[in-house]
Amino acid sequence: MKSRQCQPCTACCDGWVQIKVKGCEAYPGKPCPHSMGAGCDDYENRPIDPCHKFECAWVKKNSVLPINLKPDECGTLVIESILVWQGITVDLAVPVGREIPKKNLTQLMQLAEKNMRPLIYQQQDSKSKMLEKNPLTLAYGPPEFQQWVLENQAKGRALW
Ligand code: SF4
Ligand code: SF4
């Protein structure tokens, strides 16, 4: 089977997922300084971590995500195994844009149920015109999981 190709997607370089490249942070509203919007201006010298190493869930070999959920086309970037809750692997979906389009979020939720992997997903605050570095974080999964996420957020604890 032909492996999936990133091009022309640059969602992970464009700050939709928080990364640090050569000491420089990228996050929503602040792309990596080497991202030209259509590629990297220093591709030959890109660092191993995160540039070589990073793979979103869509591009991974034997990805469980359907072809239509390519980040630049579907408005969401999924990162597998962001954390483990009670021995269960949890995935993260961040918006490529302000929020994950509803039909694609529904598809991700259906996959989460099918694969029995709770989902954490993010969206920008609709009341804010700015892109927030840390978007609102929501949980989809068993009630105990949702409660656990809420409790950690209330205590100001990082989830991952
Ligand atoms: S978000 Fe995924 S498909 Fe897009 S460039 Fe990054 S690794 Fe490739
Ligand atoms: S250095 Fe290049 S490959 Fe790495 S995040 Fe920045 S734009 Fe992307």
- Taking Cα atoms as reference points, which of 147, 29, 142 lies closest to residue 94? 29
CA of 35 from ligand 2 middle (Å) equals 6
Find the 135 Cα to ligand 1 centroid distance in Å. 20
pLDDT of residue 2: 62
Tokens representing residue 10 in the block? 């640059």
Locate the ligand 2 atom nearest the alpha carbon of residue 10 and give its number.
Answer: 8
**Per-residue model confidence (pLDDT) at position 37:** 83
Give the pLDDT confidence score for residue 38 in this predicted structure. Answer: 87
* pLDDT score at 100: 98
**Percent of the chain at pLDDT above 70?**
99
